[in-house]
Amino acid sequence: MNAGGNSLSISQSTVGFIGVGNMGEALLVGLLKAGANPANISFAVRRESRSAEISERYGITPRSLTEMAAECDVLLIIVKPQDLTTVTEIIAPVRKANSLVISFLAGKKSSTIADLLGGDCAVIRVMPNTPTMLGVGMSGLSAGSHVTPNQLEYAHQFLNACGKVVDVDEELQDALAATSGSGPAYFFAFVEAMINGAQELGLSEEIATTLTVQTILGAARMLDESGKSAATLRENVTSPKGMTFEGLRTFSEGNLGDLVARAMRAARDRSRELA
């Protein structure tokens, strides 16, 4: 990473949001939570009704792409991957020197975005996940070759306000997407299966749902706060030859571990195909 560039700070740097859909709004909330001044934030969306909604809700200013690109210290690109070329063609000619671009586009490499923006652009690639909308997201960050330590620190402060963030080599972004990006869907599928299984045992859908959701919430909190590994916590609740032992044995006989690993490989491979 380069050592030069303008200094960024959450409270003082100007930020432009290119796209404020559900994920964009979640990231906006995180940036404000981190200490950003609404007066320093602008945004661009296609629908006028959405523009009015966001402006009124958060006190930030709608602007054109060219205005934001020319004046903002940080640009967040949160559009569909197929819209990247259109966006970069508009902002590249007027982009502010030494500005930071943070991309939330699946499958688009930082080098590709930098090339579209002039080659020497500082680009950070981020893969968030849907719990970001509740402030408990998990983001994986990869810094392009022109990113400065200060710009990287800025991104960390911002994303930590949205949940947690880890740095990964960019070649591992597809693996990260298959883990934390798709992970909520794996979790929801398992919850569905538990609820259905509980109903087959005679419980009502309402009680089955309450039992399952609260049990998993509690288990997740234990895993997050106890400092113990998942394996240790599993062992602590599993008595030899007891009922939990029998349930886990069934999972083992069905090769649950292999099934999960194969599902994650399939998701990673698809992510590579979509790049």
CATH number at residue 208: 1.10.3730.10
Dihedral through CA 105, CA 107, CA 110, CA 112, nearest 10? Answer: -110
Give ∠ CA 183-187-188 in degrees, rounded to 5.
Answer: 115
Do 31 and 148 sit in the same domain of this protein? yes
| pLDDT at residue 45, rounded to an integer | 95
| pLDDT at residue 6, rounded to an integer | 63
Beta partners for residue 163, in sequence order: 137
The last residue of a domain, from among 145, 168, 191: 168
Other CB atoms within 10 Å distance of the CB of residue 31: 25
| pLDDT at residue 91, rounded to an integer | 96
Q: How much helix, strand and coil, in percent to the nearest 5, is found in the chain?
A: 60, 15, 30
Range of the structural domain that residue 53 is part of = 15-168
Do 209 and 238 sit in the same domain of this protein? yes
Query: Nearest-CA neighbor of 86 among 15, 170, 18, 173?
Result: 18
Mean pLDDT of 254-275: 93
| pLDDT at residue 113, rounded to an integer | 95
Mean pLDDT of 130-138: 95
| pLDDT at residue 2, rounded to an integer | 46
Q: Which residue has the tokens 């997407």?
A: 177
Do 105 and 190 sit in the same domain of this protein? no
**126 within domain boundaries:** yes
pLDDT-derived band at 274, boundaries 50, 70, 90:
confident
Is the Cα dihedral 47, 107, 90, 40 positive or negative?
positive
Burial class (CB in 10 A: 0-12, 13-18, 19+), 13: buried
- Mean pLDDT (the chain) is 95
Do 186 and 242 sit in the same domain of this protein? yes
What's the chain's Rg over C-alpha atoms? Answer: 22
Number of structural domains found in the chain: 2
Q: Look at residue 4 and tell me whether its pLDDT is greater than 70.
A: no
Q: Look at residue 5 and tell me whether its pLDDT is greater than 80.
A: no
Q: Give the containing element (helix H, strand E) for 126.
A: strand 122-127
CB contact burial 69-104 (16+ within 10 A = b; e otherwise) = bbebbbbbbbbeeeebeebbebbeeebbebbbbbbb
Cβ atoms 44, 62 nearer than 8 A: yes
**227 within domain boundaries:** yes
Do 157 and 188 sit in the same domain of this protein? no
| pLDDT at residue 10, rounded to an integer | 97
- pTM above the 0.85 mark? yes
Do 21 and 80 sit in the same domain of this protein? yes
Q: Look at residue 263 and tell me whether its pLDDT is greater than 60.
A: yes
Q: Token pair of 108, please?
A: 């688009």
**5 within domain boundaries:** no
Q: Look at residue 3 and tell me whether its pLDDT is greater than 70.
A: no
What digits encode the pLDDT tens for the residues 28-87?
999 999 999 999 999 999 999 999 999 999 999 999 999 999 999 999 999 999 999 999
Mean pLDDT of 114-124: 92
**162 within domain boundaries:** yes
pLDDT-derived band at 89, boundaries 50, 70, 90:
very high
* Lowest-confidence segment of 136-150, 213-227, 261-275 by average pLDDT: 261-275
Q: Look at residue 219 and tell me whether its pLDDT is greater than 80.
A: yes
Residue type, 34: A
| pLDDT at residue 47, rounded to an integer | 93
Do 28 and 146 sit in the same domain of this protein? yes
**176 within domain boundaries:** no
Mean pLDDT of 104-115: 92
Do 144 and 223 sit in the same domain of this protein? no
Do 72 and 203 sit in the same domain of this protein? no
Mean pLDDT of 14-31: 96
Do 37 and 147 sit in the same domain of this protein? yes
